């Protein structure tokens, strides 16, 4: 039986052409190559827009690599074994973010071995999925926010950030630019308490909101339930949660769940979360990372949309080698004719593809001049 022979990591950093604020000027990606004893390789990755990348890389290099060596390349089997092994380091966060790199690589191997793209290996349910334009724009002055909204005309849906004193003026301006036919969502990123959330949602409701995202701290499930029961606008959350147990408790508190494929530990747990949500009739909208999330969305059990944050996909950041696996735009997201997930990181050419030893990680910065 084929076994896992080695794991290589390569930390990358890509500058954001549109910084997410003064504290988030770039994204970290820990690219991962998983090598089997027959020489085949799969590509995975972990990701964080701000902190924790060094800790994730260290966990992969010093604990995960040794543990997965010798295991069969079965995503679900490896995930369950690795989850039990890493629990001592924490039940989520750095641990699940490290696990994602291995799990994504194993799904890449599984799909490629079957001669399939990832969506078809999971079980494709649709050929395209709607894309909503999104931006991390809370720090934009009003005129920049309006200009950004104009760039998004033609998309079926748009999401902007809220959590300022002038939210009503900003949402009104964006609604005027988009017109009544575009779905409009707002994202508070956990900036309100229950009292403030109720008041702000009532003030913003006349602008026809499709949902309000993360209105309260992510772990305030009781507050989310009380909020949902007291307002008429749907509530979305989940990007800041890490385990299926978190999502099981979240499902009766929200209308849309938004797992991030890296934060929850990879494709295996995201599919488990989506099935759990399906049982309760709650749609799963994957959070960020559209290069991979769009492929998953094609196979999810309930209809959904894919978020495309302006200039922040792996392809837009210049991290990928070759054509991007997903085409994103106002007309929706479509996948190309590739095997596996089609994500090949530019600097992974430096890693010996059939080596069974684990070299030290190399830090690479990819400048994005002219972007």
- Residues acting as catalytic residues: 161, 287
Phi, psi (deg, nearest 5) at residue 54: -65, -35
Query: In this structure, are residues 236 and 255 in contact, taking their beta carbons and an 8 Å threshold?
Result: yes
Measured distance CA(149)–CA(161) in Å, rounded? 12
Phi, psi of 110 (to 5 degrees): -60, -50
Dihedral, CA atoms, 333, 334, 335, 337, nearest 10 degrees? -160
- C-alpha closest to that of 157 among 330, 334, 335: 330
C-beta separation of 292 from 117 below 8 A: no
Half-sphere exposure of 150 (CA within 13 A, CB side): 6
Q: Position of tokens 């679900």? A: 76
**Beta strands 306-309 and 131-134, pairing class:** parallel
Which residues, 6 or more positions from 25, have their beta carbon under 8 angstroms from its beta carbon? Answer: 15, 16, 19
């Amino acid at each position: 039986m084929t076994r896992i022979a080695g794991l290589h990591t390569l930390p990358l950093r890509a500058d954001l052409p549109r910084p997410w604020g003064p504290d988030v000027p770039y994204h970290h990606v820990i690219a991962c190559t998983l090598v089997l004893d027959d020489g085949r390789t799969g590509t995975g990755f972990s990701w964080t827009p701000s902190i924790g990348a060094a800790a994730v890389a260290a966990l992969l290099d010093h604990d995960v690599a040794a543990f997965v060596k010798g295991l069969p390349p079965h995503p679900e089997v490896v995930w369950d074994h690795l989850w039990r092994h890493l629990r001592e380091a924490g039940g989520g966060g750095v641990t699940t973010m490290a696990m994602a790199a291995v799990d994504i690589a194993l799904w890449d191997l599984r799909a490629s071995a079957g001669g399939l793209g990832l969506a078809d290996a999971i079980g494709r349910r649709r050929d395209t999925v709607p894309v909503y334009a999104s931006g991390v724009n809370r720090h934009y002055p009003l005129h920049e926010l309006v200009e950004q909204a104009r760039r998004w005309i033609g998309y079926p849906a748009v999401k902007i950030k809220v959590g300022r004193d002038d939210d009503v003026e900003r949402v009104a301006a964006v609604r005027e630019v988009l017109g009544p036919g575009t779905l409009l969502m707002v994202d508070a990123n956990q900036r309100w308490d229950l009292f403030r959330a109720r008041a702000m949602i009532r003030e913003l409701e006349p602008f026809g909101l499709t949902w309000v995202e993360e209105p309260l701290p992510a772990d305030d499930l009781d507050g989310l339930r009380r909020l949902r029961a007291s307002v008429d606008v749907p509530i979305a959350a989940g990007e800041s949660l890490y385990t299926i147990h978190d999502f099981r408790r979240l499902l009766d508190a929200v209308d849309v769940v938004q797992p991030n494929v890296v934060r929850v530990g990879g494709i295996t747990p995201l599919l488990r979360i989506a099935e759990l949500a399906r049982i309760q009739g709650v749609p799963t909208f994957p959070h960020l990372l559209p290069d991979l999330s769009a492929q998953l969305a094609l196979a999810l059990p309930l209809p959904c949309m894919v978020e495309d944050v302006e200039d922040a996909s792996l392809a837009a950041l210049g991290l990928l080698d070759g054509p991007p696996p997903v085409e994103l735009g106002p007309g929706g997201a479509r996948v190309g004719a590739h095997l596996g997930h089609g994500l090949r990181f530019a600097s992974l050419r430096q890693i010996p593809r059939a080596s069974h030893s684990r070299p030290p990680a190399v830090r690479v910065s990819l400048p994005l001049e002219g972007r």
